[in-house]
Amino acid sequence: MNLEVSRKKMVAFALVVTMSAASGHGKKCGFEAIFNFGDSNSDTGGFYAAFPAERLPFGMTYFHKPAGRATDGRVIVDFLAQALGIPFLSPYLQSIGSDFRHGANFATLASTVRLPQTSLFVTGVSPFSLAIQLNQMKQFKAKVDQLHSSSGEDKLPPPTIFGKSLYTFYIGQNDFTGNLAIGINGVKQYLPQVVSQIASTIKEIYALGGRDFLVLNLAPIGCYPAFLVELPHNASDIDSFGCLISYNNAVVDYNTMLEEALKQTRREVADASVVYTDIHSVMLELFHHPTSHGMKYGTKACCGHGGGAYNFDKRVYCGNEKVINGRTLVATACSDPYSYVSWDGIHATDAANKIVAHAMINGSIFRPPFSLHKFCDIQAID
């Protein structure tokens, strides 16, 4: 996408969404629920329900406390829920305080599409891969069919909900980054399996009654502070915006493969909407031109240690402290996360996620064209 055209489009996003939201206030939405599959980019508390360990400064700007999200505030699916006028999604794994009447979130931090070949306690990979999340979805539907009460007191949706829901996928980043130790060419051998698994999952959910699917592509990891620090590269591999050329090119290759797989899936489920969602173009624009969107820093993390160009130190992660050679290192958060694209070197800030969500709600990054406004009177995003 031409960057100048991209900037002009994004300037219009907020205005269009705000105007639409105002006209639709208080009206119902054809999508009565969202079911989300993903990793830390869309987890709303699943991982920490299974493995409690969350702490500030995560959640500091919107929730003002840890809220199970790997950012300072909301993730993209939170904004999407707000726009559709439904509550934030309860994590499927959360046993206390959950309300599933408007969907469920199966995403967990560190999840992969492919089945993990190692343990959480060895490499940090979540056991809740996409196949497990799909099985949880099947179990959820079976329980709804069995246990639903028309009174709603059981906090479950009606069995008819599954054909009136939006199914979102934001997963694959960990399949990509988790194998980078073997090099980009080594990673590429796994990518066909990743896109194939996503496509087959869509078809299985289609068999359960799902008809509307939004599949988010991968953001440009070559612009993430953590990877700029950790991944081996030469100075010639850095573009004029400070991002890694080779790794971003590999992400583009993956995204192209994903889009082609979704085109084939669309032919197999002809009465469904299977929508490729190009968040990559929005995130790349933010990393390249943060000041054009009210921000200051693209490739520098808000929460981290070390300052400098990236403010990321792999020895001590956001919110933690560690004694090294008798010196205590503390990774703290900045006072203005809204000025940053990157929260902790790996995840986007609430502010960046909001801009991506605006692009989705506006419909500018959907292929083929898909209008949420056709189904819903969009609510304002605060």
Active-site option among 102, 288, 293, 347: 347
Tokens 């995560």, residue located? 58
CB neighbours of residue 318 within 10 Å: 25
Q: Report how far residue 228's alpha carbon sits from residue 234's, in angstroms, rounded to the nearest whole number.
A: 11
Q: Is residue 344 annotated as a catalytic residue, yes or no?
A: yes
Contact in structure between 156 and 148 (CB atoms under 8 Å): yes
Tokens 């705000």 belong to residue: 18
Asked if residue 349 lies in contact with residue 342, where contact means CB atoms within 8 angstroms, the answer is yes
8 A C-beta contact, residue 221 and residue 247: yes
Other CB atoms within a 10 A radius of the CB of residue 185 amount to 8
Does 25 participate in catalysis according to the annotation? no
Check 40, 42, 90, 165 and give the catalytic one.
40
Return d(Cα 297, Cα 338) in angstroms, integer: 10
358 is catalytic: no
| Active-site pick, 43, 212, 344, 350 | 344
Cβ neighbours, 10 Å, residue 242: 17
User: Which positions are annotated as active-site residues?
Assistant: 40, 344, 347
